[in-house]
């Protein structure tokens, strides 16, 4: 399946909405999706801030996102599979410099080795080239932090992988999916995140994105979704209600587990009552968060692919 080219370059930058003095809290799509998936998972990640050892799959996703971002730095005719392949090793070296713990991924000897890892990243890029021709695209934004205030007090923000703007001003939000997990287990979460970006863009630019696009690189498939304004109004209510539920759960220190297929990808089963574990004591600091520094939401790094 080949994605249709539709885009011309617009050099405009997405300006993060300045936080008005009334902003009480902020929420990212990943953390909102955590709460929706499992309140206890939200607590472990955003309140306890428990470390999660990076996995090979996550590292590969970060690497592929980095390569695809850099690919568009090249002049259009040079954006070939060979050029993308040439970016893999240097981008991995850069990531290792920035996050030395990534080197431990290959220390156990029970995972793939570094060379196979790089080859597998290149294979995902082949999947990308099967669905898009980057020589015919000039993204308006890449790995851009976007934000908006909803309900007069909640700052919603996140990094989108790519934003394309057509000559007629139509917006297309593109998200690269690199994971090998069954798509049906994560598609609702992926769509939730894309609607989150659509809501931010609508609130900041006054335009409902024409297309929300998921690019599944492993399967070389495209999944398009067309939101409308009524849907985004409802979605905004959902996000605000979700935030109120998070506030309530925080005040009560009550985050319950919600077991699902996604537990297979959870790093915290050992602490989860659904798996016989006991959560740590609720952190005292969580009772007095600083709302303007993403109080209960760990910043979500660009290129994160969940």
Q: From residue 257 to residue 276, what is the string marking binding to ligand SF4 with x (rule CB under 6 A)? A: xxx--xx--x-xx--x-xx-
* Residue 7: Cβ within 10 Å count: 20
Contacts of ligand SF4 in 203-242 (CB under 6 A): none
Residue 201 binds ligand SF4, judged by CB under 6 A: no
Binding segment toward ligand SF4, per CB under 6 A, in 24-32, 226-234, 251-259, 283-291: 251-259
Measured from the CB atom, the residue of 189 and 258 that comes closer to ligand SF4 is 258
Q: Which two tokens stand for residue 30?
A: 């990943």
**Binding marks (x or -) toward ligand SF4, 36..75, rule CB under 6 A?**
--x-xx----------------------------------
Size of the site for ligand SF4 (CB under 6 A): 14
Angle, helices 29-37 vs 183-205, to 10°: value is 140
User: What's the min distance (Å) between Cβ of 35 and ligand SF4?
Assistant: 11
Nearer to ligand SF4, 5 or 54 (CB): 54
Sequence-ordered list of residues with C-beta below 8 angstroms from that of 277, at least 6 positions apart, any chain: 268, 269, 270, 271
* CB atoms inside a 10 Å sphere around CB 153: 14
State the nearest-atom distance from the C-beta of 103 to ligand SF4, in Å: 27
What is the DSSP code string of 159-187?
EEEEEEE-TT--EEEEEEE---S-HHHHH
Cα–Cα distances (Å) from 289 to 25, 41, 47, in that order, read: 9, 19, 10
Binding site for ligand SF4 (CB under 6 A): 38, 40-41, 257-259, 262-263, 266, 268-269, 272, 274-275
């Amino acid at each position: 399946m080949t994605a249709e080219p539709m885009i011309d370059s617009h050099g405009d930058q997405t300006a993060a909405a300045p936080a008005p003095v009334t902003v009480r809290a902020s929420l990212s799509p990943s953390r909102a999706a955590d709460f929706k998936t499992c309140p206890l998972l939200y607590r472990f990640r955003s309140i306890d801030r428990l470390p999660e050892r990076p996995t090979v799959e996550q590292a590969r996703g970060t690497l592929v996102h980095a390569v695809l971002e850099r690919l568009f730095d090249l002049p259009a005719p040079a954006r070939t599979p060979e050029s993308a392949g040439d970016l893999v090793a240097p981008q991995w070296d850069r990531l290792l410099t920035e996050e030395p713990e990534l080197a431990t991924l290959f220390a156990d000897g029970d995972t793939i080795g570094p060379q196979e890892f790089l080859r597998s990243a290149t294979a995902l890029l082949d999947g990308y080239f099967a669905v898009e021709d980057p020589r015919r695209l000039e993204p308006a934004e890449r790995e851009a932090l976007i934000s908006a205030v909803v309900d007069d007090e909640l700052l919603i923000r996140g990094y989108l992988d790519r934003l394309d703007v057509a000559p007629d001003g139509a917006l297309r939000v593109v998200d690269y999916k690199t994971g090998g997990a069954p798509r049906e287990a994560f598609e609702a979460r992926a769509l939730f995140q894309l609607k989150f970006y659509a809501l931010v863009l609508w609130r900041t630019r006054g335009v409902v994105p024409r297309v929300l696009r998921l690019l599944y690189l492993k399967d070389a498939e495209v999944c398009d979704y067309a939101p409308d304004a009524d849907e985004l109004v409802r979605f905004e209510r959902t996000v605000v209600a979700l935030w109120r539920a998070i506030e309530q759960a925080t005040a009560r220190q009550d985050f319950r587990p919600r077991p699902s297929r996604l537990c297979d990808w959870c790093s915290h089963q050992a602490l989860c009552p659904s798996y016989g574990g006991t959560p740590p004591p609720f952190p005292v600091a969580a009772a007095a968060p600083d709302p303007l520094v993403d109080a209960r939401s760990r910043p979500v790094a660009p290129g994160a692919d969940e």
